[in-house]
Amino acid sequence: NAGVTQTPKFRVLKTGQSMTLLCAQDMNHEYMYWYRQDPGMGLRLIHYSVGEGTTAKGEVPDGYNVSRLKKQNFLLGLESAAPSQTSVYFCAIGLASYEQYFGPGTRLTVT
């Protein structure tokens, strides 16, 4: 997965709980992204970052927050999990938008 790790791999949350997903890279890429993928659907961009200390909203940012305090790490937070956030979350890195390298994913279930 091109030097992209995601932690944790699986997680089950109860409605209202919070958690943070960690994406770490060892390739020194400027761009980092968080996507979610629901069954049978393509990926949807949640938030992205074009460099350390910067973040921006994607297509489906509501209910999520992100931080990029260090270049190699991109954190995705769920402050109050909802069942609608049950999904597989992928982190990606890249030098430019059209060539991204994805992590293995985090499978999150909210009950």
Partner 1 sequence: LAKTTQPISMDSYEGQEVNITCSHNNIATNDYITWYQQFPSQGPRFIIQGYKTKVTNEVASLFIPADRKSSTLSLPRVSLSDTAVYYCLVGPPIMTTDSWGKFQFGAGTQVVVTP
Our CB check for partner 1 shows the closer of 14 and 39 to be: 39
CB of 61 to partner 1, least distance (A): 11
Q: Pull the structure tokens for residue 28.
A: 């020194």
Looking at residue 85, its amino acid is: Q
CB of 86 to partner 1, least distance (A): 16
* DSSP secondary structure, 20-76, as one string: EEEEEESS--SEEEEEEE-TTS-EEEEEEESSTT--EE-S--TT-EEE-SSTTEEEE
How far, in Å, CA of 72 to CA of 28, rounded?
Answer: 7
Q: Candidates 14-22, 39-47, 63-71, 72-80: pick the segment binding partner 1 (CB under 8 A).
A: 39-47
CB of 42 to partner 1, least distance (A): 4
Binding site for partner 1 (CB under 8 A): 1, 31, 35, 40-45, 48, 50, 56, 58-59, 90, 92, 96-105
